[in-house]
């Protein structure tokens, strides 16, 4: 079954990680998916990594959808405006917008107070995490709101409940990730008169390409990383949050989530989807009840 046949999605920031996993799963559900990012087969961003938007688009098509790669710097208003004009010209509609642009893994300085943190790197992080989402929504939502049941997904790190109670590693990172949650709440208010929905979604401890490289493992042997970090046992693949977004996108009653902040693990319990290994990791409950509580790593009952 292809519940998203005829639907058009834009995954902003789909080169790797959550964006790639989301794009693939939207494609698997039958959607036409525009995948954007800065790294192509002929040009790399400052990440200097091998993943490309063309590769993501091919994975979307292989999954059963139609992937369309477009190189876009989402800090450049002209490029984003041109992207939305292209989608309108080619498809005449936009049903799903996923704001996943991040691009700041190498900018954060963990557990460093603001007066010691690099100001240049911190402000760059905020621009990449917040400005990109606002610029994209500014141009995309006039197209998305032309049809009822449009959906905006803001991808962040942490639920509102968890982030409200916990310091998130640095002032800049904390502000970046909590701001995206608030952005979803604001968009929910602005979209309601158009019968459209905005939701903030967070993955758990995600096995992105960068995270796998950090631990020196591949997806096939990711459990070997638990020798270095036992709590990595709760980790999930990028496809898990992808299935969360696909489930929301195919839900005719998705408006019940308008303005909410929700995790991939919680959505799995509602919609019944699983990760690639057949499990349903509930990372944020695990963090509170096991990791933050100082208990030994044990994912029993959490996946």
User: pLDDT digit string (tens) for 209-235?
Assistant: 999 999 999 999 999 999 999 999 999
The band of 103, judged by pLDDT with boundaries at 50, 70 and 90, is: confident
What pLDDT, on the 0 to 100 scale, is given for residue 170?
Answer: 94
Q: Which domain holds residue 162?
A: 8-208+238-281
Mean pLDDT of the chain: 97
Q: How many helices (H) and strands (E) does the chain have?
A: 11, 7
What pLDDT, on the 0 to 100 scale, is given for residue 151?
Answer: 98
At CB < 8 A and 24+ separation, what contacts does 263-268 make? 263/159, 263/201, 263/202, 263/203, 263/204, 264/201, 264/202, 264/203, 264/204, 264/236, 264/240, 265/204, 265/236, 267/201, 268/240, 268/243, 268/244
The band of 105, judged by pLDDT with boundaries at 50, 70 and 90, is: confident
**68 in Cβ contact with 76 (< 8 Å):** no
What pLDDT, on the 0 to 100 scale, is given for residue 46?
Answer: 87
CA distance 138 to 140: 6
**23 in Cβ contact with 50 (< 8 Å):** no
- Residue 152 domain flag: yes
- Residue 302 domain flag: no
Neighbours of 216 (CB within 10 A): 10
Average pLDDT over residues 283-296: 97
The band of 149, judged by pLDDT with boundaries at 50, 70 and 90, is: very high
- Residue 204 domain flag: yes
As for how many domains the chain has, the answer is: 1
pLDDT(21) > 90: yes
- Residue 251 domain flag: yes
Output the pTM of the full model: 0.97
- Residue 14 domain flag: yes
pLDDT(47) > 90: no
Name the percent of the chain lying above pLDDT 90: 97
pLDDT(1) > 90: no
- Residue 199 domain flag: yes
CA distance 303 to 286: 9
C-alpha separations of 38 from 67, 75, 102, 160, 197 in Å: 16, 11, 12, 29, 28
Average pLDDT over residues 28-49: 95
Span of 13-17, 109-113, 188-192 with lowest mean pLDDT: 109-113
CATH number assigned to the domain comprising residue 115: 3.40.50.720
- Residue 70 domain flag: yes
- Residue 63 domain flag: yes
Q: Nearest-CA neighbor of 71 among 102, 93, 46, 45?
A: 45
């Amino acid at each position: 079954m292809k519940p998203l046949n005829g639907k058009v999605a834009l995954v902003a920031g789909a080169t790797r990680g959550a964006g790639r996993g989301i794009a693939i799963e939207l494609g698997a559900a039958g959607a036409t998916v525009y995948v954007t990012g800065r790294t192509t087969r002929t040009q790399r961003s400052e990440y200097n990594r091998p993943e490309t938007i063309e590769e993501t688009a091919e994975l979307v098509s292989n999954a059963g959808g139609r992937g369309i790669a477009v190189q876009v710097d989402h800090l450049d208003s002209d490029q984003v405006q041109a992207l939305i004009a292209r989608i309108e010209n080619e498809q005449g509609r936009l049903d799903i917008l996923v704001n996943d642009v991040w691009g700041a893994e190498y900018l954060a300085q963990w557990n460093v107070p603001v007066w010691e943190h690099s100001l240049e790197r911190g402000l760059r992080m905020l621009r990449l995490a917040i400005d990109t989402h606002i610029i994209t929504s500014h141009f995309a939502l006039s197209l998305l709101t032309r049809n009822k049941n449009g959906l905006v997904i803001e991808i962040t790190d942490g639920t509102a409940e968890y982030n409200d109670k916990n310091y998130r590693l640095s002032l800049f990172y904390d502000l970046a990730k909590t701001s995206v949650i608030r952005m979803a709440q604001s968009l929910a208010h602005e979209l309601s008169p158009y019968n459209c929905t905005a939701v903030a979604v967070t993955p758990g401890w995600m096995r992105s390409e960068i995270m796998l490289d950090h631990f020196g493992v591949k997806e096939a042997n990711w459990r070997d990383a638990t020798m270095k970090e036992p709590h990595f046992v709760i980790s999930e693949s990028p496809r898990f949050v992808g299935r969360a977004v696909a489930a929301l996108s195919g839900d005719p009653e998705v408006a019940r989530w308008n303005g909410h902040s929700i995790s991939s693990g919680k959505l799995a319990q509602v919609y019944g989807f699983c990760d690639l290994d057949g499990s349903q990791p509930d990372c944020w409950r695990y963090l509170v009840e096991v990791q933050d509580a100082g208990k030994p790593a044990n994912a029993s009952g959490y996946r």
